[in-house]
Amino acid sequence: MSTGSASVPQRRLPRPLRPFRHRDYGMLAASMAASLFASGLWIVALVYQVIALGGGPSDLSLVSAAAATGLLTSVLLGGVAADRVSRRLLLRLVETVRLVMAGLAAALAVTGGLRLWHLALIAFVVGAAEAFFYPAYSAILPTLLPADELLAANGLEGVLRPVAMYAAGPALAGGLVAAFGPGVALGGAAAGYLLALLPLLAMRVPLSVDEERERSSVLADLREGFAYLLRTGWLFATLAFAVLLVLVVIGPIEVLLPFAVRDQTASGPGGYALVLAAFGLGGAAGSLIASAGRMPRRYLTLMILLWGVGGVPLAAIGFTNRLWVMGAIVGVVGAAHGAAMVIWGTLLQRRVPPHLLGRVSSLDFFVSLALMPVSTALAGPVGETIGIPATFAVAGLAPVLLAVAAIVGWRLHRDELAHPLDPAPTPT
């Protein structure tokens, strides 16, 4: 395990900053920050590049669905890879692919050769590459940090993600799109992915969990991961809830939100960037609050309710013509989801056996995102058929029923009491 500057007395650092005592974690966090910032640029630039090509909600649904399909079709292989090969190598490869694809999109856009099918294909490749990132990141973190610092590390990642991906990145992208066009913003995303690659080159990471054991087949590894999922009640219940949550929530947020901002508030790229920034800042606040203490005693119940009840404000998105109200709504939703994600990431790293963590993390992605292509593909046509207000009303209210069903149906309140995750802190 990398210890870095572990000689710094633990009591002198606030809990959320303690993981930075470890050198390799610091390099990983720096890479994460740059990568998320670049992804924020990429998201906004992609939306307005579709619009610049004359596309509407259905066209954006196509591009978003391509990215989600790439992620979904590759994520199981990503989990097997994270348990079998160097996780540092996987992270490097992901950033390299992102860099090349964003650079290609920027070059085609600036030269006038970009077409909608190009964007869909590039989005598919980027999605496929990202499928290898989360399992590798989730599995590498417990090799860098002690167990009682994982909540803080997940909280810091939860702060970086919304601030960089939904605030700073989109803010810069909005300015670049308004001043120079989406092609330049795509080039900015490529530069950000280059910055994310550099810290990974300086990391010194231990061998991944399974590199020192005899290899089994890929299919056997997949069967082992699925078997663990099916026999582990809290994991199955959470992912069953997540797959339905994604179906009703992700599509409206990713596809319809930019059009709600444009049509209801008469705002352009800057307004959309501000709404994303509000979501990001809310997520950062929720992540920071969740990571400042210890794992809650009722961690499963609280996590599910944060995802379910925390999304209720989305029901009001379609009924406001004020940009600040829309920003406040998504800020509250972002805070709830950010706190839930901190608990979820720590839960996986604490309760899943280390040799299965890469595969279970990929199954988390696979199962919870299985309906993402369906959600993004349907959001545009559904929004055009029943209207944006009705679509967001469903997205805000349906998860409450799903959350109650998951908690009660699988007796999660009993499981969390039987398996507490709040041990005494590691001695200094």
**CB-CB contact of 73 with 206 (8 Å):** no
Give whole-number Cα distances, 122 to 23, 182, 188, 265, 394, in Å: 34, 15, 16, 31, 31
The CATH number linked to 368 is 1.20.1250.20
What does the DSSP 8-state code read for residue 227? H
Identify the DSSP state of 115.
Answer: -
User: For the chain, what is the domain count?
Assistant: 1
Of 8-22, 82-96, 309-323, 376-390, least confident by mean pLDDT is 8-22
Q: What is the pLDDT of residue 8?
A: 41
- Residue 288: pLDDT over 50: yes
Domain assignment present for 5: no
Domain presence at residue 7: no
- What's the burial of 186, exposed, middle or buried (CB within 10 Å: 0-12/13-18/19+)? buried
Question: Could you tell me the two tokens for 190?
Answer: 């490529």
Q: What is the pLDDT of residue 18?
A: 74
362 found inside a domain: yes
2 pLDDT higher than 80 = no
Cα distances (angstroms) measured from residue 402 to each of 253, 289, 304, 314, 405: 18, 25, 9, 16, 5
Is the pLDDT assigned to residue 99 strictly greater than 60?
yes
424 has pLDDT over 50:
no
Q: Which of 104-108, 376-380, 386-390, 400-404 has the lowest mean pLDDT?
A: 376-380
Environment class of 274 (CB within 10 Å of its CB; exposed 0-12, middle 13-18, buried 19+):
buried
pLDDT at 294: 86
More confident residue, 127 or 10: 127
**Number of neighbours of residue 117 by Cβ within 10 angstroms:** 11
**Structural element, H or E, at residue 300:** helix 299-308
Measured in whole angstroms, the distance separating CA 102 from the mean position of its chain's CA atoms is 19
| DSSP letter for each residue of 5-18 | STTS-GGGS-GGGG
Mean pLDDT of the residues in the chain: 87
Query: Percentage of residues in the chain with pLDDT exceeding 90?
Result: 58
318: domain range?
A: 18-202+218-418
Nearest to 133 by CA among 75, 188, 204: 75
Above 60 in pLDDT, residue 208? Answer: no
Cα–Cα distance, 38 to 166 (Å, whole number)? 10
Binned at pLDDT 50, 70 and 90, residue 85 comes out as confident
Return the top range by mean pLDDT from 84-93, 184-193, 254-263: 184-193
Q: What is the distance between the alpha carbons of residues 280 and 162, in angstroms, rounded to a whole number? A: 4
Q: How far apart are CA 184 and CA 107, in angstroms?
A: 9
For range 17-32, the mean pLDDT: 84
Return d(Cα 305, Cα 192) in angstroms, integer.
35
Q: What is the pLDDT of residue 426?
A: 44
pLDDT greater than 90 at residue 421: no
Residues in the chain: 428
Q: What is the pLDDT of residue 16?
A: 64
> What would the two tokens of residue 79 be?
């989990």
Domain assignment of residue 208, yes or no: no
Q: Is 384 exposed, middle or buried (0-12, 13-18, 19+ CB in 10 A)?
A: middle
Please check whether residue 424 lies inside any domain of the structure.
Answer: no
Residue 310 lies in a domain: yes
Q: Is residue 80 part of a domain?
A: yes
Give residue-wise pLDDT tens across range 313-322. Answer: 999 999 999 9
213 found inside a domain: no
Q: What CA–CA distance (Å, rounded) separates 161 from 281?
A: 10
